A = this chain, B = another copy of it.
Amino acid sequence: MTPADPHTAQANTPDQDGGQGETPDTSVSAAAELPGLDQRALAALAEVGREWERQIPPLSTWQRALPVDTDLEWGQPTRSRGARFVQIGKPRRRGESEQLEATHRAAEGDSRTSHALHALRRALIGPALRSSALAEDRIGRALALPLLSPDALSSVAYGPEAMLAILLLAGSGELKASLPISAVLAVLMLSVGLGYRQVIRAYPQGGGSYVIASEGLGHRWGLLAGAGLILDYILTVAVSVASGVEAVTSAIPSLSSARILIGLIVILLLVAGNLRGLRDAGVAFAAPTYLFVAAIALVVVTGLVKAASHGFHPAAPVPHRAVEAAGVLLLLRAFASGATAMTGIEVISNAVPIFRPPAAKHARQTLSVMVGLLIAMFVGVVLVAHFDGAEPGGSQTLLSRISHSSVGSGIGYGFVQVATTLILLVAANSAFNGFPRLLYFMARDGNMPRAFLRLGDRLAFSNGILVLALPAAIIFVAFGGHTGPLIPLFAIGVFIAFTLAQSGMVAHWLRHRERGWRSALVTNLLGAVLSGAVVVIAAITKFLQGAWLVVVLLPLIVIFCERIHGHYVRVREALTPKPDGDGRGRPTDVTAPDRRDGQRGQDSAHGAAEAADTPAEVQSFAVVPVAVLDLAALHALAYAVSLARPVLVVHVSPTEREAERFQRQWEAWGEHLPLELLVSPYRATVAPLANYIAALHHQRPESTLSLVVPEVVVARRWQKILHNRIGARLRNALIAYDGITITTVPFHVPP
């Protein structure tokens, strides 16, 4: 993050208080949600504080006045299920309050519904984890590999087939082109893999394409990389689940009619597994991944042994008539299709912090193993297919075909099929790891809603997990659970992210020139060029099949992120205390006498723009809307009068006759307060009331108008339809005005 960049310099990194310098903190923190204040703001706070000191009594007076024990040593309601708050730490000095800790009970309500919901939640995703468990919730390489690699590895089940299917369009004679294309793909995988090893080296706390591109190339390129990954993660889930369900239904055709339901259940299980947290998810997804690796190894090794026994002479494929001419474009399309196998490679570099220390080293090793497996499996499958003369098409998948010829039709074949089905079903899991982390990083820079900073009960990014699952499920259902129309949209986003990440690394090495930067730079440059080539090829060859949608959506996402960013920057600017010296000419070192007598110094009031950041600047009067002079209204009137400020009561009547009726109630009570009667002959209530109150406020914009609204609160939710909810509507209408506070005085009625 370069300090010169006006965008990222405003980001809400959680440690601006500490001012830890320029290195971005790419670790995950439970405290990231609350923005900090910089030194300048703290200085401004101190200045405001001195003003307060002159205006209000000292702290000890306030402490004595409090009628409650803030440490809850007495009067904490007795709970059958344990205390909600326990004291931690000692008072920092005499008379000071102790710090309280909320137990997990503090998140529950008192109602039976609340207890039941919490019990259900615990049953589904386990008990809540403490923030301090974040350091413990790390996993070893053996669990991380199956957690992060299913997306990449599972593409071996369909990547080679997609490539061969394109080549077959030019006739079976062209199938042999699969060997050189695979070699290029292997080089590409190796290059991107090595590139991401460098990423982990440079960002040992976890980075990913978004962070690297933001830093190396600038804010907007980072957003583009992020947008590409966002699209691709969503598509990955939809496509992976659809192909997993396809594998299930082709094995058990009677389930075809339930394909949508099965897919939704798989998505739900993925959500639940990931909401449970890293360790549980890793354990759950370990078996399918290792089984699949073993299955492919079996097929490839036996296939190659058989091929060796024939002296590596390829079997002649069944002759096919060409429907398209062979040519560069076709080869490029085949290449682009094969490249879809590479989605998911970047997940590990995003997720370095989930590894046990030394995290970076473990992550690099895991990445190397994953890329090695991917290349070996991909090339192996293509080779075996080549020697078998197998070709795509028909009722069987390519993998099923070569499994048959390699391991026969017995238990070995069944094992391969089961393993393939399982990995396709869990392939979406990489996306469930990558997407929420990506949104966390984007949100921390203020490019995404802050809600994505939130760590859920189980220290998982619950919001990100849910926001990934929802659009993926909608797309899955909208396309009837079929993968076909989605494939062309796929992989462009991820290759844009690859390209930008590798380019960002090139910029990084040029800037930092650490030990060995030259070779690293070459690696990343090669990765950038190759990935960029894939983007161009894929965009051109798939444009009309749907890639245009990606081309349209990406800039929209970038613009949306920039609007979010702009909003957060303006909000932060508006909320940050600013030194008063800023062009207003008030000295910062006021030498006024130390008046602690509680006298409200009117002399120190300053401009209306900064009105009311000290109590003396609050001048206010109360307005109470009353429909009927019942107990709810009296309750609100009593509260308003107790505020020790002027009070005006307003009543809106639909007719003059009704106004007289109210007048009789008012006179019976004794007319103790100023009353304004509004007749609303058009029968609107809320809008005239809101406009009248706004007009009063307009007379005294510097005064705070305290609107005190009596509100009947019902015990059951359905009973809300029985009441006119004027309070809530008035709130909505008047919240737009600066300087109007809205107080609800509830009056509870029996059910």
Closest Cβ neighbor of A706 among chain B residues: B743
The yes or no answer to A410 lying at the interface (CB within 8 A) is no
> Are the CB atoms of A647 and B62 closer together than 8 Å?
yes
The yes or no answer to A112 lying at the interface (CB within 8 A) is no
| Nearest CB in chain B: distance from A105 CB, A | 8
> Are the CB atoms of A698 and B75 closer together than 8 Å?
yes
> Are the CB atoms of A631 and B674 closer together than 8 Å?
no
> Are the CB atoms of B746 and A743 closer together than 8 Å?
no
Chain A residues 732-747 with CB under 8 Å of chain B are 733, 735-738, 740-747
> Are the CB atoms of A30 and B683 closer together than 8 Å?
yes
> Are the CB atoms of A567 and B719 closer together than 8 Å?
yes
Name the B residues within 8 Å of A29 (CB-CB): 655
Name the B residues within 8 Å of A657 (CB-CB): 31
The yes or no answer to A485 lying at the interface (CB within 8 A) is no
> Are the CB atoms of A676 and B97 closer together than 8 Å?
yes
The yes or no answer to A568 lying at the interface (CB within 8 A) is yes
| Nearest CB in chain B: distance from A27 CB, A | 12
The yes or no answer to A454 lying at the interface (CB within 8 A) is yes
Q: Contacts A102-B684, A654-B33, A680-B102 given: A665-B77 contact, CB under 8 Å?
A: no
> Are the CB atoms of B655 and A687 closer together than 8 Å?
no
**Among the listed B658, B724, B735, B750, which residue makes an inter-chain contact with A451, where contact means beta carbons less than 8 Å apart?**
B724
> Are the CB atoms of B747 and A30 closer together than 8 Å?
no
> Are the CB atoms of B107 and A49 closer together than 8 Å?
no
Closest Cβ neighbor of A678 among chain B residues: B100
Query: CA–CA, A52 to B84, complex, Å?
Result: 41
> Are the CB atoms of B634 and A577 closer together than 8 Å?
yes
> Are the CB atoms of B455 and A683 closer together than 8 Å?
yes
User: Number of contact residues on A: which range applies?
Assistant: 35 or more
> Are the CB atoms of A109 and B695 closer together than 8 Å?
no
The yes or no answer to A310 lying at the interface (CB within 8 A) is no
Closest Cβ neighbor of A35 among chain B residues: B628
The yes or no answer to A729 lying at the interface (CB within 8 A) is no
> Are the CB atoms of B749 and A741 closer together than 8 Å?
no
How would residues 412 to 456 of chain A score, 1 for a CB under 8 Å from any chain B CB and 0 otherwise? Answer: 000000000000000000000000000000000000011100111
Query: CA–CA, A657 to B627, complex, Å?
Result: 50
| Nearest CB in chain B: distance from A176 CB, A | 54
The yes or no answer to A620 lying at the interface (CB within 8 A) is yes
| Nearest CB in chain B: distance from A620 CB, A | 7
Name the B residues within 8 Å of A509 (CB-CB): none
> Are the CB atoms of A67 and B646 closer together than 8 Å?
yes
Name the B residues within 8 Å of A88 (CB-CB): 656, 679
Name the B residues within 8 Å of A711 (CB-CB): 735
| Nearest CB in chain B: distance from A740 CB, A | 7
The yes or no answer to A313 lying at the interface (CB within 8 A) is no
The yes or no answer to A614 lying at the interface (CB within 8 A) is yes
The yes or no answer to A748 lying at the interface (CB within 8 A) is yes
Name the B residues within 8 Å of A354 (CB-CB): none
Name the B residues within 8 Å of A570 (CB-CB): 749-751
> Are the CB atoms of A99 and B677 closer together than 8 Å?
yes
Which listed segment binds B: A123-131, A229-237, A379-387, A396-404?
A123-131
**Among the listed B104, B567, B638, which residue makes an inter-chain contact with A615, where contact means beta carbons less than 8 Å apart?**
B638
> Are the CB atoms of B678 and A85 closer together than 8 Å?
yes
Name the B residues within 8 Å of A575 (CB-CB): 628, 630-632, 712, 747, 749
> Are the CB atoms of B454 and A683 closer together than 8 Å?
yes
List 29 contacting pairs A-B, 8 Å CB cutoff, sorted by A: A17-B665, A30-B654, A31-B661, A34-B627, A37-B665, A46-B669, A50-B670, A59-B671, A62-B674, A72-B696, A84-B692, A84-B695, A102-B681, A102-B688, A104-B682, A106-B682, A107-B682, A107-B687, A129-B682, A132-B655, A449-B722, A454-B683, A574-B749, A612-B635, A613-B631, A615-B637, A711-B735, A713-B736, A736-B748
Further contacts, 18 of them, CB under 8 A, given A53-B670, A100-B678, A102-B688 = A17-B661, A34-B628, A59-B674, A88-B656, A100-B677, A101-B679, A102-B681, A106-B684, A128-B682, A131-B654, A131-B681, A132-B655, A457-B683, A574-B747, A575-B628, A577-B631, A618-B639, A643-B643
